[in-house]
Amino acid sequence: MINIPDWVQDAIFYQIFPDRFARSARVARPSNLEPWDSKPTTYGFKGGDLLGVAERLDYLQELGINAIYFTPVFQSPANHRYHTHDYYRIDPLLGGDAAFHELLDAAHQRGIRVVIDGVFNHTGRGFYQFNHILENGAASPYVDWFYIKGYPLHAYEGKPLNYEAWWGIPALPKLNTTTPAVRAFLFDVAEHWIRQGIDGWRLDVPGEIDDDAFWQEFRRRVKAINPAAYIVGEIWHEAQRWLKGDQFDAVMNYQFTRACVGFFARPFDENLVAAAGYAPVPILDAPGFAYSINHLLSLYDPTINRAQLNLLDSHDTARFLSIARNDRDALKLATLFQMTYVGAPSIYYGDEIGITGGKDPDCRKAFPWDTPEAWDQDLLHFFKTCIALRRRYEALRAGDFEFVYAVGRAVAFVRKQGLQRLIVALNAGNAPADLDIVIHDHYGLPEGVTLACEMSTTQAAASGVSSVTVSGGLLRVHLGARQGAVFRAQ
């Protein structure tokens, strides 16, 4: 039997890149920081911290999210903190351990879960055991913690690498997880932070640790402390191997991202997706999109599907709005689908106010707290409305999902749970569309039933239609160009 944490299907995640989200006056900052509103660079720091996040929880709660995924927070010399120095210490630039615990407590008091990033495939060069080898060479007791091919280590000189590193990057020496001491260390790290109160782990490049037994033991250790802890892996492709119930609860659903880009962001910026881990992206019509989504749902147990982390973009991709060539309608349609689809939606910080960004590091801009006049208020209102809709109807979080229409550039699907019945209709085309939806008995929508328009991607109800009625076994829905709407059975 496959078990996932019950709370995940009800979760709406917000992904935060800590250096770029918010700063607090309570955290001492060094002087050599980039200006907050300047263009992000590969190596520069802007000084965001965890107390800054804690002080913005009102904003996040008003947005409607109830879970946060943080990219790494442990001590590291990189602004993204994937070069871990100390797995047991929160980075001092983020406010240290005290700031993390204050944030964790404040989030939990508001019913907001906190998932953090675990980088267990590789470390930074400043990681103690690697530094020990740098200093002592073959005499170090820790030589079996890494894959060493010669001495002294060529960690800084620009000479050919003589140790294994992730993607051949000298700053990221690869851990030897076949060494019992390394396994014990990483499992202890996983247990430690679960005991400290985090609600789960997002696992960085877990496929690089090509060892089912490692991840099976990782799961046993984590779940023994907190059975409700969420374990989600960064796997960009189909992930059946890891989603059988004995390793991860879910993956970052980049195959969902791929389908949404191919259908809603048309035409999309091919240069911005060319190097993405989910590339190549096919151009999809409605039948192609429905097929892609149905295929994705067929890959995993329905319980797993309800735990998938569904995202439109992240710190590792260009922002969806930029991929869509600044087409706000594309972002609205994709977000409406994301918020009415199976699994846990994840919003990348700032998407809700229209932040744009190309490839890394441009996708990691600072949140413009000091210039609210630059926020896209209409988009922010739309995000809040979509989130509120998802939270209001259990059918959108836990109900059955079935496409009921896929013609041209328009799709519709039903979500049903108990007595709740909702039809979501989306027109990704540039011309109005009339959707004649054949209503089958198992939809639970009898002849004559009226469905009210709950929301639309436009300010008004769908083209002025406040409701639609099943008549002659059909539900006719009219949508304007690039418009979506949600209808609820009365």
**360, 392, 424: which is the final residue of a domain?**
392
Per the annotation, the verdict on 6 as an active-site residue is no
Same domain, 265 and 346: yes
Same domain, 209 and 336: yes
Please determine, for residue 148, whether its predicted confidence score (pLDDT) is greater than 70: yes
Same domain, 380 and 483: no
Which of these, 438, 434, 417, lies nearest to 489 by C-alpha position? 417
Backbone phi, psi, residue 489, to 5°:
-65, 135
Q: Residue 414 sits in a domain of what CATH number?
A: 2.60.40.1180
Same domain, 311 and 445: no
pLDDT band at 466 (very low <50, low <70, confident <90, very high): confident
Q: Is residue 57 part of a domain?
A: yes
Q: Is residue 380 part of a domain?
A: yes
Residues contacting 474, CB < 8 A, separation 6+: 436, 437, 438, 439
Q: Is residue 478 part of a domain?
A: yes
Average pLDDT over residues 400-415: 98
The catalytic position among 234, 285, 316, 352 is 234
Backbone phi, psi, residue 122, to 5°:
-145, 165
CB 320 within 8 A of CB 276: no
Same domain, 379 and 403: no
**359, 392, 425: which is the final residue of a domain?**
392
Same domain, 402 and 332: no
Q: From the CA atom positions of the chain, what is the Rg in Å?
A: 23
pLDDT band at 295 (very low <50, low <70, confident <90, very high): very high
**362, 392, 422: which is the final residue of a domain?**
392
Per the annotation, the verdict on 269 as an active-site residue is no
Report the C-alpha gap between 206 and 214 in whole angstroms: 10
Q: Is residue 213 part of a domain?
A: yes
**Lowest-confidence pick of 50-64, 141-155, 411-425, 445-459:** 445-459
Q: Is residue 142 part of a domain?
A: no
- pLDDT above 70 covers what percent of the chain? 99
Report the C-alpha gap between 423 and 413 in whole angstroms: 6
Model pLDDT for residues 365-399, shown as the tens digit of each residue = 999 999 999 999 999 999 999 999 999 999 999 99
CB 66 within 8 A of CB 109: no
The whole domain housing 258 covers 8-121+177-392
Which of these, 387, 422, 415, 409, lies nearest to 483 by C-alpha position? 409
Per-residue b or e along 70-106, where b marks 16 or more CB atoms closer than 10 Å to that residue's CB? bbbbbbbebbbbbbbbebeebbebbbbeebbebbbee
Q: Is residue 163 part of a domain?
A: no
Same domain, 40 and 97: yes
The torsion region of residue 162 among left (phi > 0), alpha (psi -120 to 50) and beta comes to alpha
Which of these, 91, 180, 170, lies nearest to 124 by C-alpha position? 170
Q: Which helix (H) or strand (E) holds 404?
A: strand 400-407
The catalytic position among 55, 204, 249, 316 is 204
Report the C-alpha gap between 259 and 292 in whole angstroms: 7
Which of these, 157, 153, 63, lies nearest to 110 by C-alpha position? 63
pTM, two decimals, is 0.97
Report the C-alpha gap between 131 and 125 in whole angstroms: 6
The pLDDT assigned to 459 comes to 60
Q: Is residue 3 part of a domain?
A: no
Please determine, for residue 463, whether its predicted confidence score (pLDDT) is greater than 70: no
Q: Residue 208 sits in a domain of what CATH number?
A: 3.20.20.80
The pLDDT assigned to 458 comes to 86
How many residues belong to the chain? 490
The pLDDT assigned to 461 comes to 45
Please determine, for residue 468, whether its predicted confidence score (pLDDT) is greater than 60: yes
pLDDT band at 460 (very low <50, low <70, confident <90, very high): very low
Which of these, 411, 416, 452, lies nearest to 435 by C-alpha position? 411
Which of these, 254, 284, 289, 256, lies nearest to 268 by C-alpha position? 284
Same domain, 311 and 190: yes
Average pLDDT over residues 277-283: 97
The pLDDT assigned to 490 comes to 82
Same domain, 415 and 481: yes
The pLDDT assigned to 227 comes to 98
Q: How is residue 111 annotated by DSSP?
A: T
The pLDDT assigned to 465 comes to 66
Model pLDDT for residues 28-59, shown as the tens digit of each residue = 999 999 999 999 999 999 999 999 999 999 99
Same domain, 271 and 419: no
Q: Is residue 457 part of a domain?
A: yes
Model pLDDT for residues 74-99, shown as the tens digit of each residue = 999 999 999 999 999 999 999 999 99
pLDDT band at 1 (very low <50, low <70, confident <90, very high): confident
Distances (CA, A) of 405 to 241, 290, 291, 410, 413: 32, 9, 12, 8, 7
Q: How many domains does the chain have?
A: 2
Average pLDDT over residues 452-467: 75
Average pLDDT over residues 262-282: 96
Same domain, 340 and 258: yes
Same domain, 356 and 469: no
Residues contacting 235, CB < 8 A, separation 6+: 206, 207, 242, 251, 252, 254
Q: How is residue 272 annotated by DSSP?
A: H
Burial of 308 (0-12, 13-18, 19+ CB in 10 A): buried
